[in-house]
């Protein structure tokens, strides 16, 4: 099977599809994905030095307004009173805290426009990444049960796994494409001899079994 380089395709789901996919997940799956989003946001902010009005700012929390589409329910707001879908909580080196929307970083705390725009662009990428993940979940991309069990046992043999990988696999969520490719490759290598021996004198693996092994990643 030819393993193609993962493409950085932009995937965007409609609001409805995103919501229905999310609702179909178990509570455990949702919590693993939320943890993943928080990790990504935190890393993203740590990669930038945020200096505005002579202070150093850092991200302490990130909240998504789950009631954005029903304005009569409790909402999240920017420092200026604007209603927000995503609220960022930042503190500076003097211990002051501010809650605000990403588009007002320049206005309220003096982060240079260019830095704020860069942050916004990166956050958009994260959101595309999240849609892509949900899309893969919809298509049931991911490891089959045998591979998942194998990976959990052999996880220490993989270097530099992204921190979410074991949680993702445990909860039957597709890990990152490249990681999944590595796992499938290692699994096949580790189980090839045994399977080959068992099936050598028998009929070939049936079509379904092959499809299972080469399940879309």
Q: Which stretch binds Zn ion (CB under 5 A): 80-88, 112-120, 125-133, 139-147?
A: 80-88
Q: Which stretch binds Zn ion (CB under 5 A): 61-69, 76-84, 122-130, 169-177?
A: 76-84
- Least Å from the CB of residue 108 to Zn ion: 6
Among residues 96 and 216, whose Cβ is nearest to Zn ion?
A: 96
84 binds Zn ion (CB under 5 A): no
52 binds Zn ion (CB under 5 A): no
- Least Å from the CB of residue 111 to Zn ion: 12
78 binds Zn ion (CB under 5 A): yes
104 binds Zn ion (CB under 5 A): yes
89 binds Zn ion (CB under 5 A): no
- Least Å from the CB of residue 77 to Zn ion: 8
Among residues 117 and 215, whose Cβ is nearest to Zn ion?
A: 117
80 binds Zn ion (CB under 5 A): yes
Among residues 80 and 205, whose Cβ is nearest to Zn ion?
A: 80
Instruction: Tell me the two tokens of residue 30.
Output: 């949702």
Cβ neighbours around 208 below 10 Å, total? 8
The residues of the shown chain that bind Zn ion, judged by CB under 5 A, are: 78, 80, 82, 104
């Amino acid at each position: 099977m030819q393993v193609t380089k993962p493409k950085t395709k932009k995937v965007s789901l409609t609001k409805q599809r995103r919501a229905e996919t999310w609702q179909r997940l178990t509570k455990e799956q949702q919590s693993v994905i939320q943890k993943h989003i928080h990790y990504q946001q935190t890393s993203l902010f740590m990669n930038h030095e945020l200096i505005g009005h002579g202070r150093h700012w850092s991200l302490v929390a990130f909240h998504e307004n789950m009631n954005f589409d029903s304005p009569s329910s409790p909402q999240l707001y920017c420092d200026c009173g604007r209603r927000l879908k995503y609220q960022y909580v930042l503190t500076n080196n003097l211990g002051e805290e501010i809650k605000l929307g990403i588009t007002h970083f320049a206005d309220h705390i003096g982060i240079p426009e260019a830095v704020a725009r860069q942050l916004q662009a990166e956050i958009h990428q994260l959101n595309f990444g999240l849609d892509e993940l949900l899309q893969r979940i919809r298509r049931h991309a991911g490891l089959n049960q045998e591979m998942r069990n194998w990976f959990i046992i052999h996880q220490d043999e993989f270097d530099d796994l992204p921190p979410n990988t074991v949680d993702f696999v445990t909860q039957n969520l597709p890990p990152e494409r490249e990681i999944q490719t590595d796992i499938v490759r290692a699994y096949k290598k580790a189980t090839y001899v045994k399977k080959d021996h068992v099936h050598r004198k028998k009929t070939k693996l049936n079509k379904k079994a092959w499809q299972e092994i080469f399940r879309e990643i």
